[in-house]
Structure 1
Amino acid sequence: MAKIIVFITTFVTMNTLFLLPVFAQTSPSAPVVSSQSAVMIDADNGSILYEKNSTTPMYPASLTKIATAIYAIENGDLEDRVTVSENAVDIEGTTVFLEAGEQLTLKKLIQGLLINSGNDAGIAIAEHLSGSVDQFAEDMNNYLKNKIGVEQTHFKNPHGLFHPDHTTTAKDLSMITKYALKNREFRDIFGTVEMEWHGKSWDTTLISHHKMLKGEIPFEGVAGGKTGYVDQSGHTLATLAKREHLNLIVITMQSQYKRDAYQDTASLLNYGFDHFETSSIKGRSKVEFKNKEFIIPENLTYTHLKNQDKVTKQMTKQGKLELYNQNGERMNSYQLVEAGSDHGDKKKEPVKKEETSKSGIYVTSLMAGVIIAGFIGFVYRKKQIQKKSYKSFM
């Protein structure tokens, strides 16, 4: 608790927040990234470890399918039988060669969508869940905004084929991927290297297109990934890698060449694993700011450069605790809870419980007294009757 209060009691008041001093330190140089946009975050706590144009709108290509997959998993029944339409079969680009009238489970379509990047599977999923591609796009956009909290994503289809209004950002994609990875079904499919596929028109083995995941480009710890490409987007890449206590997500967008996307990803992952570690802030601690008291609801973790024990912490009047790295870039933010609110450290009326308990004891004691008094009265009356009976008998 004392450690938490240190940065609370030594603040400089500003218009909307307080700011701790930035501690000077020597930082390792981040790698040079050729992709037009990139971000690396901690998959567990969302801390941003690197970013380049991460909030610039870009065309995502097939990274769209990460969003389609988690939406379908959370909003559909994986065992539902889906009937493939002519519309799905006629879609261009990469497919899993579905045939009109073919029936597959929703889960199998999601596998075809993520592992083999099947655009036809994406259309079949959209039509099954929402009736049409347009309605599915609207439903998915609302889900991404309200459920995950993205701010710059607007999808027009479930597969990522080019549309001028089909855009997102590296940061939003990292948030979507982080959220999706909490789901076991998604994690399993996202990390699948190959899968036997038995369809109406072909039997084959689906193999992930992600070269690091399937080992074509060796890299220790890669546990999931998705590729994407259309002419307008260039090469896009999403990668999950795990080593020791770090789980990292890297998103690269608008790479001119495929090799650049993988090189950027490998460089960022090496930078992350070599130079970052995770620390925590104790939960249930109280923070006072602007005559209000806030509560850290649970243990919070954040990932930062090694030996960087003191990061810059800021508190907004809305109750957000924000963490900034040595460059003044926001790493993470946490919404704290105002004390006394329904979700805060509100006391559960112990006084009333005590009164209720005392009241119960009083009633019980009163009833016991009545019973004992009644019993004594009964015995006394019985003795009096016996005495009278004895006198009359004599």
Structure 2
Amino acid sequence: MKNIFLYLIVTVFVLFSFQYNVFAEEARQLDLKSEGAVLLDSETNAILYAKNADEKMYPASLTKIATAIYAIEKGNLDSIVTVSANAVRQDGTRVYLNEGEQVPLKKLIQGMLINSGNDAAVAIAEYLDGDVKTFAESLNSYLKNKIGVTNTHFTNPNGLHDENHYTTAMDLALITNYALKNPTFAEIFGTKVLDWQGQSWSTRILTHHRMLKGELPYPGISGGKTGYTTEAKQTLATTAGNGNLKLTAVVLKSDLKNDKYKDTAVLFDYGFKGYQHETINQGVIFKSGNKEFYPESDIVITEDVSGNIKTVNDEGLLSIENNNGQVLQKVQLKYKDPPKSKSAEIKSKKANKKESPLILLNTLIGLLLITGAGTLIQRQRRRKVSRYY
């Protein structure tokens, strides 16, 4: 009877928890047209909003964010790249490179990110790894092992459609946040206009991102990249800051071009209004049962302005949740070794006291044995001398 009663209690608790989480999920829905969307804190990677965040989708030219940071970290920005015929033949948006043209690597990255040059992307890939196929293999390994994304597979450097070329909104946001830590990437990602001198044309290339360009004004926009193919539809990655928070928004698969910008503005409004930073000071103790954990240094976390709950598990993983049960961030803490109990200290002292007389006794016995041995040796020597005489 007790077991049946316990089972009923557990069942009710599970059902209640499920209903609560569903309610929390529904309460947090924003009116977004894009099929996939993620809003992250650019500095802490806290997840502030997610819609179909882990669903595999086509990124189109947002691929170039990954290509850019890979090229910046692997290549020499001042090295000269010779453009191939294959690069020149690329479809879609280009910076109109000529076959045999020699261009610094950094300039190619600028042309790829700012003006979305598909030809520049292939020139970069061939310079770094010899050919596009080898580049894609190296890029996928880099994204998995260096950045830690697991739902991304790229077959080319520019995002032209391929059924096996996919990622997720979450992975793209994490890739963007990783890239933003590099000053060269951040500079190019935020560039609106660049004078371009090439063999085939001299012009001023402009970012395609309408919020970054100022056509659709939003305060604090700091960088962005657009994307579009027929299969991927409209895609957009954007960063912004308000002096307190820096946010990264990624939206995928919008039907209309303006929808991706409206969705991005909705995400930023939501993030800047509802979240803030807090610092957990070094050495603050968090308990899980009898275990204690602490941060080794000051940690900046992202919190919901309406309230938060901090919990730590037996492995020392600290979870920051808002009042709706949404996990915003997880931080690994360090285990604190428990102090010795008084009884253990007393036993240790007693053991030391017991050992001290024994050590003294053994020392005395050793000295007596050495003295006795010395005396015997002296007597034997005297006997030998007396016999000789």
Change (3 A) 1:316 1:144: farther
Deviation at 1:291, TM superposition (A): 5.7
TM-score (norm 2): 0.77
Tell me, what secondary structure is at the counterpart of 2:150? coil
1:320 maps to 317
1:16 maps to none
Q: Which runs of 5+ in 1 are unaligned?
A: 1-21, 341-394
Tell me, what secondary structure is at the counterpart of 2:210? coil
1:299 maps to 298
Residues in 2 aligned to 1:333 and 1:68: alpha-carbon distance in whole angstroms: 28
Q: Which runs of 5+ in 2 are unaligned?
A: 1-20, 338-389
| Counterpart contact for 1:84–1:100, Cα < 8 Å | yes
Residues in 2 aligned to 1:83 and 1:39: alpha-carbon distance in whole angstroms: 38
| Counterpart contact for 1:148–1:179, Cα < 8 Å | yes
2:210 maps to 211
C-alpha distance after superposition, 1:9-61 (max 9, x if no partner) = xxxxxxxxxxxxx9xx9x98653111001011111111111111111111001
Q: As a proportion of its length, which structure holds more helix?
A: 2
2:353 maps to none
Residues in 2 aligned to 1:284 and 1:153: alpha-carbon distance in whole angstroms: 37
The letter for the 1-side match of 2:38 is V
Deviation at 1:213, TM superposition (A): 0.2
1:334 maps to 331
Tell me, what secondary structure is at the counterpart of 2:211? coil
Structure (1 or 2) with the larger CA radius of gyration: 2
| Counterpart contact for 1:296–1:337, Cα < 8 Å | yes
C-alpha distance after superposition, 1:211-252 (max 9, x if no partner) = 000001111111100000011111000011111211111100
Instruction: Please state if 1:59 is matched with 2:61.
Output: no
TM-score (norm 1): 0.76
1:376 maps to none
Deviation at 1:339, TM superposition (A): 4.9
Alignment of 1:1-12 (within 5 A): none
Residues in 2 aligned to 1:213 and 1:28: alpha-carbon distance in whole angstroms: 31
2:282 maps to 283
Tell me, what secondary structure is at the counterpart of 1:180? helix
| Counterpart contact for 1:225–1:237, Cα < 8 Å | yes
Tell me, what secondary structure is at the counterpart of 2:136? helix
Deviation at 1:140, TM superposition (A): 1.1
Residues in 2 aligned to 1:154 and 1:290: alpha-carbon distance in whole angstroms: 42
Structure 1 stretch 29-38 or stretch 66-75: which is displaced more?
A: 29-38
Higher relative contact order, chain-length normalized (CA < 8 Å, sep 6+): 1
| Counterpart contact for 1:35–1:261, Cα < 8 Å | yes
| Counterpart contact for 1:49–1:304, Cα < 8 Å | no
| Counterpart contact for 1:287–1:296, Cα < 8 Å | no
Change (3 A) 1:325 1:100: same
Instruction: Please state if 1:244 is matched with 2:243.
Output: yes
Tell me, what secondary structure is at the counterpart of 1:237? strand
Residues in 2 aligned to 1:163 and 1:31: alpha-carbon distance in whole angstroms: 31
Residues in 1 aligned to 2:283 and 2:156: alpha-carbon distance in whole angstroms: 43
Residues in 2 aligned to 1:292 and 1:326: alpha-carbon distance in whole angstroms: 25
Q: Among the aligned pairs, what percent are the same residue?
A: 49
2:132 maps to 133
Over the residues paired in the alignment, what is the CA RMSD in angstroms?
Answer: 2.2
| Counterpart contact for 1:133–1:158, Cα < 8 Å | yes
The letter for the 2-side match of 1:110 is I
The letter for the 1-side match of 2:67 is T
Residues in 2 aligned to 1:38 and 1:138: alpha-carbon distance in whole angstroms: 27
Deviation at 1:287, TM superposition (A): 4.0
| Counterpart contact for 2:211–2:217, Cα < 8 Å | yes
Deviation at 1:280, TM superposition (A): 2.0
1:354 maps to none
Alignment of 1:92-241 (within 5 A): 92-241=91-240
| Counterpart contact for 2:274–2:306, Cα < 8 Å | no
- Number of residue pairs matched by the alignment: 316
Deviation at 1:147, TM superposition (A): 1.3
Deviation at 1:329, TM superposition (A): 2.3
The letter for the 2-side match of 1:124 is A
Residues in 1 aligned to 2:151 and 2:216: alpha-carbon distance in whole angstroms: 32
Residues in 2 aligned to 1:165 and 1:322: alpha-carbon distance in whole angstroms: 35
Moved over 6 A (4+): none
Residues in 1 aligned to 2:59 and 2:105: alpha-carbon distance in whole angstroms: 24
Tell me, what secondary structure is at the counterpart of 2:194? strand
The letter for the 2-side match of 1:53 is N
1:350 maps to none
| Counterpart contact for 1:212–1:219, Cα < 8 Å | yes
2:46 maps to 47
C-alpha distance after superposition, 1:351-385 (max 9, x if no partner) = xxxxxxxxxxxxxxxxxxxxxxxxxxxxxxxxxxx
1:370 maps to none
Structure 1 stretch 284-293 or stretch 50-59: which is displaced more?
A: 284-293
The letter for the 2-side match of 1:253 is L
The letter for the 1-side match of 2:91 is E
The letter for the 1-side match of 2:325 is G
Residues in 1 aligned to 2:136 and 2:324: alpha-carbon distance in whole angstroms: 38
The letter for the 1-side match of 2:330 is S
Residues in 1 aligned to 2:49 and 2:299: alpha-carbon distance in whole angstroms: 20
Residues in 2 aligned to 1:63 and 1:75: alpha-carbon distance in whole angstroms: 19
Structure 1 stretch 177-186 or stretch 321-330: which is displaced more?
A: 321-330
C-alpha distance after superposition, 1:246-299 (max 9, x if no partner) = 111110000000111001011111122222211221123344546655441222
Deviation at 1:304, TM superposition (A): 2.6
2:71 maps to 72
